Amino acid sequence: MKKLLMGILGPSDVAFNRFLPALKKSKHFEYVGVAIAKPHERNESSNGSYHEYELKAMFRKSMAKADDFINKYKGAIFNGYEQLLSSSVEGIYIPLPPALHYLWAKKALECGKHVLLEKPFTTNLADTRKLLKLAEQKGLAVHENYAFCYHEQINKIRQLIEDREIGEIRQIRAAFGFPYRGAADFRYNKELGGGAVMDCGGYPIKLSTLLLGKTAQTMTASLHSAKEHNVDVFGSATLENEDGITAQVSFGMDNCYKCELEIWGSEGCIYAPRIFTAPTNLTATVLLKKQEERVYEIAGNDQFLGSIDHFYQCIADKTLRLESYAEIESQSRQIDDILKVTKKQGGNYESKIHTGC
Look at residue 246 and tell me if it is in a domain.
yes
Q: What's the one-letter identity of residue 232?
A: D
Q: What three-state secondary structure class fits 274?
A: coil
pLDDT surpassing 90 at residue 305: yes
Chain segment 141-161, per-residue pLDDT in tens: 999 999 999 999 999 999 999
Look at residue 240 and tell me if it is in a domain.
yes
Q: Is the dihedral of CA 336, 338, 342, 344 positive or negative?
A: positive
pLDDT surpassing 50 at residue 53: yes
Q: Are 167 and 277 in the same domain?
A: yes
Tell me the angle at which helices 101-110 and 125-138 cross, rounded to the nearest 10 degrees.
Answer: 10
Q: Are 277 and 246 in the same domain?
A: yes
Return the pLDDT at 40. Answer: 74
Give the count of domains, the chain: 2
Look at residue 178 and tell me if it is in a domain.
yes
Q: Give the integer Cα–Cα distance in Å for 62 and 95.
A: 14
91 φ/ψ sector (left φ>0, alpha ψ -120 to 50, else beta):
beta
Q: Are 178 and 79 in the same domain?
A: no
Q: Are 173 and 118 in the same domain?
A: no
Q: Give the integer Cα–Cα distance in Å for 341 and 237.
A: 10
Active site residues: 119
Mean pLDDT of 177-197: 92
Residue finishing a domain among 93, 112, 141 = 141
Q: Are 41 and 155 in the same domain?
A: no
Return the pLDDT at 43. Answer: 57
Contact 200, 176 (CB under 8 A): yes
Mean pLDDT of 261-274: 98
Q: Are 50 and 93 in the same domain?
A: yes
Mean pLDDT of 159-177: 97
- Considering the chain, what percentage of its residues have pLDDT values greater than 90? 82
Long-range contacts of 70-76 (CB under 8 A, 24+ apart): 72/16, 72/20, 73/20, 73/24, 73/31, 74/31, 75/31, 75/32, 75/33, 75/34, 76/32, 76/33, 76/34
Return the pLDDT at 62. Answer: 83
Q: What three-state secondary structure class fits 236?
A: strand
Look at residue 322 and tell me if it is in a domain.
no
Residue finishing a domain among 123, 141, 159 = 141
Q: Are 75 and 164 in the same domain?
A: no
Q: Are 152 and 212 in the same domain?
A: yes
Residue finishing a domain among 141, 176, 201 = 141
pLDDT surpassing 50 at residue 356: no
Strand partners of residue 285: 297
Look at residue 173 and tell me if it is in a domain.
yes
The pLDDT confidence band at residue 264, using thresholds 50, 70 and 90, is very high
- Considering the chain, what percentage of its residues have pLDDT values greater than 70? 92
Q: What is the mean pLDDT of the chain?
A: 92
The pLDDT confidence band at residue 357, using thresholds 50, 70 and 90, is very low
Look at residue 265 and tell me if it is in a domain.
yes
Q: Are 37 and 174 in the same domain?
A: no
Task: Give the number of C-alpha atoms closer than 13 A to the C-alpha of residue 48, restricted to the C-beta side.
Answer: 0
Look at residue 327 and tell me if it is in a domain.
no
Look at residues 274, 329, 324, 325 and name the one whose alpha carbon lies nearest to residue 303.
274
Q: Which residues contact 76 (CB under 8 A, 6 or more apart)?
A: 32, 33, 34, 70
Look at residue 294 and tell me if it is in a domain.
yes
Return the pLDDT at 1. Answer: 74
Q: What is the CATH number of the domain that holds 231?
A: 3.30.360.10
pLDDT surpassing 90 at residue 345: no
Mean pLDDT of 61-67: 87
Q: Which domain holds residue 208?
A: 148-305+335-351
Mean pLDDT check: name the lowest of 1-5, 227-231, 279-283: 227-231
Q: Are 136 and 212 in the same domain?
A: no
pLDDT surpassing 70 at residue 351: no
Return the pLDDT at 135. Answer: 98
Mean pLDDT check: name the lowest of 10-24, 71-85, 117-131, 220-234: 220-234
Q: Residue 122, Cα to own-chain centre: how many angstroms?
A: 10
Q: Residue 28, Cα to own-chain centre: how many angstroms?
A: 21
Q: What is the CATH number of the domain that holds 135?
A: 3.40.50.720
Q: Give the integer Cα–Cα distance in Å for 175 and 250.
A: 5
What are the helix (H) ranges across the chain? 13-14, 20-25, 39-45, 52-73, 81-85, 101-110, 125-138, 152-162, 202-212, 303-316, 318-345
Chain segment 112-149, per-residue pLDDT in tens: 999 999 999 999 999 999 999 999 999 999 999 999 99
Mean pLDDT check: name the lowest of 39-53, 223-237, 271-285, 293-307: 39-53
Give the Cα-Cα-Cα angle 110, 304, 116 (nearest 5 degrees): 5
Q: Are 93 and 155 in the same domain?
A: no
Q: Give the integer Cα–Cα distance in Å for 40 and 257.
A: 38
Whether cis (ω within 30° of 0) applies to the bond prior to 120 is yes
Q: Are 190 and 339 in the same domain?
A: yes
Contact 147, 304 (CB under 8 A): yes
Of residues 346 and 214, the one with the higher pLDDT is: 214
Mean pLDDT of 214-236: 91
